[in-house]
């Protein structure tokens, strides 16, 4: 069992409330991917801004984000795909995004592809990070990127068993990263979603 990180009030010592449910960067990605056109982006402007504000905890940065987002929506020459990519790049640049370690591990598989049981993938992830997300959160982070786990039959310890697995070719993984903007893969480098 992993120990959960808790924040305490400096004045009274009580446990601080966690951020509101539904305001995660995973939900930000899912919302952006669900938007099919400029109108749906406009409808989700408030929600995306709230999630961004919750992730940054910086009012000035949130105001700048909101103004840039609104300007892109109002300029006709910005295509929906470019706006969505810009939104994903904004959330990818933030520090303290919990699922970045999941994406860093997944990026290690882009050369050969991935065909692993989810439990093995999660164990590798949990070893690499100090405060791992739950298995459910890791699964949601993968779905937010566009990867789904599948139930497959595999031979484990000489017997055929049903196992939840992550399967994607190298090309599919590269497409996933391209569609999700720039994802941080190490301290010093970025994977660019635009190919440069």
pTM for this prediction: 0.72
CA distance 144 to 141: 5
Q: What does the domain layout of the chain look like in residue ranges?
A: 25-92, 100-191
Predicted local distance difference test score (pLDDT) of residue 96: 75
Predicted local distance difference test score (pLDDT) of residue 92: 85
Specify the DSSP class assigned to residue 113.
-
Matching residue, tokens 């595999």: 154
Are the C-beta atoms of 69 and 48 separated by less than 8 Å? Answer: yes
* 5 CB-near residues (< 8 Å, 6+ apart): 131
Per-residue pLDDT of the chain (196 residues), as tens digits, is 445 566 676 666 766 655 555 568 889 999 999 999 989 999 999 899 998 988 888 888 889 999 999 999 888 888 888 999 999 988 888 877 788 889 889 989 988 999 999 999 999 999 998 889 999 999 999 998 889 889 998 887 889 989 899 999 999 998 888 888 755 433 333 344 333 2
- CATH class label, 100-191: mainly alpha
């Amino acid at each position: 069992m992993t120990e959960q990180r808790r924040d305490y009030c400096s004045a009274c010592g009580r446990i601080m409330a966690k951020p509101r449910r539904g305001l995660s960067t995973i939900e930000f990605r899912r919302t952006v991917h669900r938007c099919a056109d400029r109108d749906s982006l406009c409808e989700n402007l408030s929600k995306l801004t709230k999630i961004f504000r919750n992730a940054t905890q910086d009012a000035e940065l949130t105001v700048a984000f909101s103004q840039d987002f609104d300007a892109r929506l109002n300029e006709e020459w910005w295509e929906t795909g470019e706006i969505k990519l810009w939104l994903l790049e904004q959330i990818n640049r933030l520090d303290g995004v919990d699922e970045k370690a999941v994406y860093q591990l997944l990026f290690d598989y882009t050369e050969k592809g991935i065909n692993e049981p989810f439990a093995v993938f999660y164990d590798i992830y949990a070893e690499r990070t100090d405060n791992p997300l739950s298995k459910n959160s890791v699964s949601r982070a993968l779905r937010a990127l566009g990867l789904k786990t599948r139930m497959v039959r595999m031979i484990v310890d000489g017997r055929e068993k049903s196992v939840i697995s992550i399967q994607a070719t190298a090309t599919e993984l590269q497409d996933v990263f391209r569609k999700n903007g720039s994802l941080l893969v190490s301290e010093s480098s970025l994977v660019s979603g635009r190919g440069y």
